Structure 1
């Protein structure tokens, strides 16, 4: 006597895969950006250095945000974190959208990988790219500003949280978007404005009251401000508040991404 029919699978596996398949997917995602490192790593580093040269040349000696900190030195952490955020987002979002368009996503769906496996692979590769670009920007900017690290653990914590949060946000954008112009819309109208308005080039204390209040609603501000605190030991808000906002944002976005992966949201269309 045959048993009841198996229930249809609506999303990805809920249980962990029995092998190390997630490592293969992670390796694939890392190699995807590493093979075109000139475009995915060197180009963003060059862009950040151009920002430093232009803004630093124009405003150095005219603006001082923290006592004893020149404007170029102040600018470096903001540019590093901006590069980390933007590239972590771009990696996970573009990878998933590209797989949808090229039609090779179906081969990953046939594997026994769970939603956690997908999450770790896509987010892990995006974090790796974001941190590599950020490290490249920092190393190049050492030519223009003396190295500072008042609290290295804060630097590491916010670099990891910032890259992780944006990697998950990119994963969500990749799940939602069906083509590159939808992903570009997400990046151009959400990610880029929120990044530039998060205090990369200025302290929010220099803004009018209404804009200061709006800046406090921007989670990107807390990541950049907390990261900058690790360099100078000074920031616009408490680093513990920044850590709470960054950690809470990462946890909420991760929970949403895992839920969508488990349900197979827009993966099987």
Structure 2
């Protein structure tokens, strides 16, 4: 008796959005940094506390109050934000550049995921690391500095959008870079200068006119300024403008990242 002919395989349908695939990629990015949590989560706590100790010991007693609060309390939100965004950037940039150098970037490109799903999953993995680092660093710093909560909206908005900004920037840098030296150049000549010149350690109201205008043109300033306002109730810049600048910067980086993944820029031979 003849066997019935085998039916041809039917392509699996995922619907408009491959939620399973996007969720799996996101969890992969999260588990990647949780696997080495002493390096990715705990190390930033030590580094940030060292920054706090240095500034507190050097300037804590002589620096004037800023916005009606002691200098150390003014400094604390900026240090928390700096830790968040640096780790969000490190998560996505290292994920992509390591995959390219080791030759397993195909694991990102081959699954049935659209460029939008890839962008969202990898970027949110960076955001997750940034927010986790922010929470842990904030709890650690609260043992030494009195932390106020003035506006939950500004804290949550700027924490999430700031982490997303650097997460996307890390993806762009990782896609563009061909080797670790290129990635180090992005870190040293883009991320670090913009972070340190954003008002993290000082109020831009004390800067000369030229540097003041430069700070106002720096999107990093607005995410730190708005985040700090959520704690101490004082902002150096207009809050509405800050929200708009951060949102537009994230949108622009999101579109650029999506376009790079959609065209396979420096990813497909």
Q: Which residue of 2 aligns with 1:10?
A: none
1:8-47 correspondence runs (5 A): 16=16, 18=18, 20-47=20-47
The DSSP-based 3-state class of the residue aligned with 1:20 is: helix
Q: Which residue of 2 aligns with 1:3?
A: none
* Deviation of 1:68 (Å): 3.6
1:25-104 correspondence runs (5 A): 25-104=25-104
Separation in 1 of the partners of 2:68 and 2:190? 34
Any conservation in 1 of the 2:25–2:121 contact (CA below 8 Å)? Answer: yes
* Deviation of 1:107 (Å): 2.9
Q: Does 1:159 align with 2:163?
A: no
Matched residues, number? 255
Gaps of 5+ in 2: 1-14
Gaps of 5+ in 1: 1-14
Q: Does 1:143 align with 2:128?
A: no
Q: Which residue of 2 aligns with 1:268?
A: 268
Q: Which residue of 1 aligns with 2:258?
A: 258
Q: Which residue of 1 aligns with 2:126?
A: 126
The DSSP-based 3-state class of the residue aligned with 2:156 is: helix
Separation in 2 of the partners of 1:116 and 1:217? 29
Any conservation in 1 of the 2:18–2:117 contact (CA below 8 Å)? Answer: no
* Deviation of 1:72 (Å): 1.0
The DSSP-based 3-state class of the residue aligned with 1:61 is: coil
Cα RMSD for the two superposed structures: 1.3
Q: Which residue of 2 aligns with 1:114?
A: 114
Any conservation in 1 of the 2:66–2:203 contact (CA below 8 Å)? Answer: no
